[in-house]
Amino acid sequence: MAVELVFQKRSKLMSAVTDSLIMIRRSTTHIIRNTDQLLGTFFQPIMFLVLFAAVFGGAIGMSLPPGVKYLDYLMAGIIIQTVAFGSTTTAIAICNDLQKGIIDRFRSLPMSNLAVLNGHVISDLFRNGISTVVMLIAGFIIGFRTHGTSFFDWLAIIGIIALFTVAFSWLAAIVGVIAKSVEAVQWLTFIIIFPLTFASSAFVDPVTMPAGLRSFAVNQPITQVIDAVRALILGTPIGNHGWMAVIWSLGILAVAMPTAVWLFARKSQ
């Protein structure tokens, strides 16, 4: 062997950080190279946005306060819905890793257990970021406008969405670790996310829903996140939606992250 090998001395914490960065780079490369999925990242949000705006715009627009276009109302809901469904990719990526030999390789290396999951969750934040930007651009092209949204409001929007994305991806990570196949991941995440996004304020005001469903829709986390972002876009009072959105996301994160890491470490021992 001609090459002299130089090893880095790292503390446990530094290792966790460095290993996570290496794994984030890996997962991000996956996203870029996985062209089929990348196309979905671009076109699915545009399709949803245009279809919902065109199909429901006329009917629902009539029940909105005067001066509010359905497209402007819809934008917050469609972004959060896309991000929530986007978390499925985290679950699929983790499930894929666990089924292949590569996970044994990672486990036999002197690396942090958290890093593999961290890599998928954080790279998914990038991918969802791209989806969100694509949606906003498409929205602007077909007539979406904000109502007095300041620079700081935008920062708040980005912060709320990013925090929610990370929290939901960690929730999806649990599904990815538990599920025995990619198919199982797909239907499991679907039956969790579909009712959560549709029984919310994403597309219509929950006021028109039946009583039982309405009290669920009004109080669940996704509605809080949507209402906070929507208030910032429409320039209406945000009330306590902002805080509730942050508290819900942090709460989900605080439970889901250690659970996912624990399940992951326990798996196949």
Residues lying near another protein in the complex (CB under 8 A): 1-8, 10, 15, 18-19, 22, 25-26, 29-30, 33-34, 100-111, 268-269
> Please, what is the minimum distance in Å from the beta carbon of residue 11 to another protein?
12
Q: Which is nearer to another protein, 96 or 149 (CB)?
A: 96
Report the amino acid identity of residue 29: T
Between 22 and 254, CB nearer to another protein: 22
> Least distance from C-beta 12 to another protein, angstroms?
10
Distances (CA, A) of 32 to 21, 27, 28, 29: 17, 9, 6, 5
Calpha distance 78→139 (Å, rounded): 11
Asked if 186 and 193 touch (Cβ cutoff 8 Å), the reply is: no
Q: How far is the CB of 187 from another protein (least distance, A)?
A: 25
C-beta closer to another protein: residue 76 or 95 = 95
CB of 232 to another protein, least distance (A): 37
Q: Closest CB to another protein among 46 and 103? A: 103
The CB-of-40 to another protein minimum distance in angstroms stands at 16
Q: How far apart are CA 158 and CA 132, in angstroms?
A: 10
Give least dist CB 29 to another protein, A: 6
CB 158 within 8 A of CB 241: no
Rounded Cα distance between 112 and 244, Å, is: 33
Read off the DSSP letter of residue 8. P
Q: What are the φ/ψ torsions at residue 17 (nearest 5 degrees)?
A: -70, -50
Token code pair at residue 71: 């497209």
* 141-162 exposure pattern, b = at least 16 Cβ within 10 A, e = fewer: eeebebeeeeeebeebbeebbb
3-class DSSP state for residue 139? helix
Q: Which residue lies nearer to another protein by CB, 11 or 208?
A: 11
